[in-house]
Structure 1
Amino acid sequence: MITGASLAAMLAAGHVSAQDAAPAEQCQAALSFFITSTGLGEGANLGGLAGADAHCQMLADAAGAGARSWAAYLSATGTNARDRIGAGPWANANGVVVAESIEQLHSEDNNVTAETALTETGEPVPGRGQQPNQHDILTGSNADGTLAEGMTCADWTSSGDGSAMVGHHDRAGPDTLATATSWNAAHPSRGCGQEALIGTGGNGYFYCFATDDGPFAAAQ
């Protein structure tokens, strides 16, 4: 089995052709959905939607998927998260599709789970039952992807008072109610600061989606 590191080494040594390397590049380019591997360190103060989008783009760039345009799955005053992320489909770093369309993403038929909601580098995010539990993902949204009024930490500019609606990427909670198992609308956070987010099972992470089809779509 050829890993990414060994592939790079073999390319450098001339043992693998560019044609052989293409599937690895295509898999990398297929990345169109991830959870941020790091927050910004200031709780839910993300520098507004623009700051959150820039963070998504920076992480995608580092992962080799910077040719796409990226947006954070966050609602804010006058803006619904569902309207910010393109039309789909979206796939994780392993090429697994989490949803084919906006409608599927916001239905019970989506494929957002602990196994598929990975970081931009393909790593799982710790969930319920793990230490630390970091399954609270910032969204500021209702289950249908629209704005959850008053739950955006001042439109992602506050790390003080207030709260943010979060989802559970692992679809797990203390009970089996639909809210506890929602990927995007599980419960409000205890506050907007970093410690408050950690206290409710988060770490300031959020979802990022590619808003376009990617560089390989036209060639397929």
Structure 2
Amino acid sequence: MKARTAWVQRFQSSRTGVALHEKPLVVSTAILFGLGVCASACGSGASQEEPAEEVPPADGDPGDSTGGGEDPADPVDASSFSFFVTSLESMRELSGSANGFGGDLRFGEATGIEGADKICRTIAEKALPGSGQKVWRAFLSASTGGANGGALNAIDRIGEGPWYDRNGLRVASNKAGLLTARPQGSTQIKNDLPNERGEPNHQGVDNHDTLTGSNKQGQYAGSKGNTCNDWTSATGSTGKPAIGHSWPRSANNPSNGGNWMSDHQAPGCAPGVNLSQNGPGSGSPTVGGGGYGGIYCFAINP
């Protein structure tokens, strides 16, 4: 009681103007401490709940048309990047020529297929450091290199999927999603397949011709002329390589010149860049009938 009486006297003195120096601070601290003890011990009814655990959103259903990671602003790492069309800028840089590689894709390797894979790996690493550690495969067919010494089919060399572009948008969930006129992935990219920067490759020019050497099942197109001598020749007269369209010829009718892996033949195997459509097999004997000799690249372990 003496302590309480002394506290009351000090408090009344402060109300009448008596200077207590640091005493009010001590009093306030004591009061706050007492209130805190009471709140916890007196059962005021206010309970402090644990914050709810934040559950990350689930990836898109494997069979949907949009896939996971639809927001291009989402952080992307090398674990999801597994598809691109080689851009004109990259093909020029790696080939050392404004006309690109043409039909000879060896790039210092023994075969055109090995060189094309190296092209994919090199561009992937430059686009997203770390992704070059993956096994990248060019979507190309050839007359040899397949099972039991037979033909090599592009569809058999790219893994099982799913595959995503640089921005995390799904290109296709599996091979069945590729064996259609347009890959059955995100609607944002299926009709304008993106380059290694994650940009629509169209870029306002007619550059949709993309080398594949394949038919509509992603298999060897049937002759070495359709593959520029298994991607070792840059001579125009060697053959007319089979190409697909990275974007449909008609935006209003994707079935018109819209098959991404096989639509027609390029005029020839020579290097060349033609950014206006010449039509199938016509014009100068270059790989650029309406393109520049670009290729598709897939990582087999996305």
> Where on the TM-score scale, by shorter chain, does this alignment land: which range?
0.7 to 0.9
Which residue of 2 is the match for residue 206 of structure 1?
295
- 2:215 aligned with 1:165, yes or no? no
Return the offset for 1:55. Answer: 0.4
CA–CA separation in structure 1 for the residues paired with 2:253 and 2:262: 14
| 2:248–2:256 Cα contact (<8 Å) kept | no
Secondary structure, aligned partner of 2:102: coil
Which residue of 2 is the match for residue 17 of structure 1?
none
Return the offset for 1:29. Answer: 2.8
Could you tell me the TM-score, scaled by structure 1's length? 0.77
Q: 1:105 aligns with which of 157, 171, 178?
A: 178
Q: Which amino acid aligns with 1:207?
A: Y
Query: Larger radius of gyration, structure 1 or 2?
Result: 2
Return the offset for 1:178. Answer: 4.5
Secondary structure, aligned partner of 1:29: coil
Q: 1:46 aligns with which of 86, 98, 105?
A: 105
CA–CA separation in structure 2 for the residues paired with 1:175 and 1:45: 34
| 2:142–2:220 Cα contact (<8 Å) kept | yes
Which residue of 2 is the match for residue 155 of structure 1?
230
Q: Identity of counterpart residues, as a percentage?
A: 37
CA–CA separation in structure 2 for the residues paired with 1:173 and 1:45: 30
- 2:256 aligned with 1:197, yes or no? no
Aligned length: 185
Which residue of 2 is the match for residue 20 of structure 1?
none
Secondary structure, aligned partner of 1:24: coil
Secondary structure, aligned partner of 1:66: helix
Q: 2:135 aligns with which of 65, 69, 84?
A: 69
- 2:158 aligned with 1:85, yes or no? yes
Task: Provide structure 2 residue ranges, at least 5 long, that are not aligned to the other structure.
Answer: 1-73, 107-111, 144-150, 273-285
- CA 1:148 to 1:212, structure 2 compared with 1: closer, same or farther past 3 Å? same
Across the aligned residues of Structure 1 and Structure 2, the Cα RMSD in angstroms comes to 2.2
| 1:179–1:185 Cα contact (<8 Å) kept | no
CA–CA separation in structure 1 for the residues paired with 2:202 and 2:216: 22
CA–CA separation in structure 1 for the residues paired with 2:264 and 2:250: 10
Secondary structure, aligned partner of 1:137: strand
Task: Provide structure 1 residue ranges, at least 5 long, that are not aligned to the other structure.
Answer: 1-22, 214-220
Secondary structure, aligned partner of 2:132: coil
- CA 1:186 to 1:86, structure 2 compared with 1: closer, same or farther past 3 Å? same
CA–CA separation in structure 2 for the residues paired with 1:93 and 1:176: 27
| 2:240–2:265 Cα contact (<8 Å) kept | yes
Within-5 A mapping of 1:16-31: 24-26=75-77, 28-31=78-81
Return the offset for 1:154. Answer: 0.5
